[in-house]
Amino acid sequence: MTPAKLAVNTSGIPIQGRIYALHGVTDNAASLSDISQRWSETFEVICVDALGHGCSPRFSDGDLLDPFEALVQSTAVLINSTEAKNPAPFVVLMGHSMGGATAAELVSRGLVHIDALVLEDPALLTPKQREDFRELGPSLVARCDEVTQNLGREIDLLLKDYPLWSPSEAAAWAQGKVQADREFLKRGVVGGARVREEILSALKVPTLLVTGDGDDVLIGPAGAEAIDALENRNITTHVIPTARHCIRRSVPEPFYLAVNSFLEALKKN
């Protein structure tokens, strides 16, 4: 089966290189607009609508047999076809939550060739977390339906909860809930079946994994310690105090400072 062609939002020019940004479950490329704003002066930034999200195609019946693999393969086709047509001098892959799990899977299996990987509290789940997400599938659908029916109210509530988040990106967050494929959401899938340690141990490119200590994070300080214990010198973990699962939305400046420092250090090497 040929993977579906994904929709993207592209900005900037690849002076220093190209950034591919992958969002979390129920979000969309528009909700990554702050990444474009931060880096489009020196990078071409490609914000990707994951399969079943935003303006990308819905999951086919075949895709739904293994939805995470469908996410991975469709993203691999996008990146590889783009780089084949117009290769960038330096390629960065960034992913939040489900997008982080997708990015880590792509790189660990050698499905794409990049120069740097940034994982924002990726959904590299423990077995318990994986089961919890599967059970929450119907609730996720209900939540997206609630946002769809009450867009203005939900945007106002979100901005109170995340006061540092821009109104435009909050609106994109709400739009993502309208667009998300309900048949995919029902499955409660945000990551793959491989264990976290296997995926991370296989990473052979410089990787920054950022997490926080909020009560909704997926990795957290304990997870970061366990990742450090793998002794994969390609991986740098960074825990930001008070950061929630949506790190760049809850503490944007510390997040961007960490990522910029990581990228600047790579340029010097």
d(CA 168, CA 132): 31
pTM: 0.97
**Tens digits of residue pLDDT in 220-259:** 999 999 999 999 999 999 999 999 999 999 999 999 999 9
Sequence ranges of the domains in the chain:
8-125+190-268
Locate 47 and state its tokens. 């914000």
According to CATH, the superfamily of the domain at 8-125+190-268 is Alpha/Beta hydrolase fold, catalytic domain (3.40.50.1820)
Q: For residue range 47-103, what is the model confidence (pLDDT) as tens digits? A: 999 999 999 999 999 999 999 999 999 999 999 999 999 999 999 999 999 999 999
Dist CA 98 CA 93 (whole Å): 13
- Would you place residue 4 in the very low, low, confident or very high pLDDT band (cuts 50, 70, 90)? confident
Mean of pLDDT values over 200-215: 97
Angle subtended at Cα 107 by Cα 103 and Cα 110, rounded to the nearest 5 degrees? 140
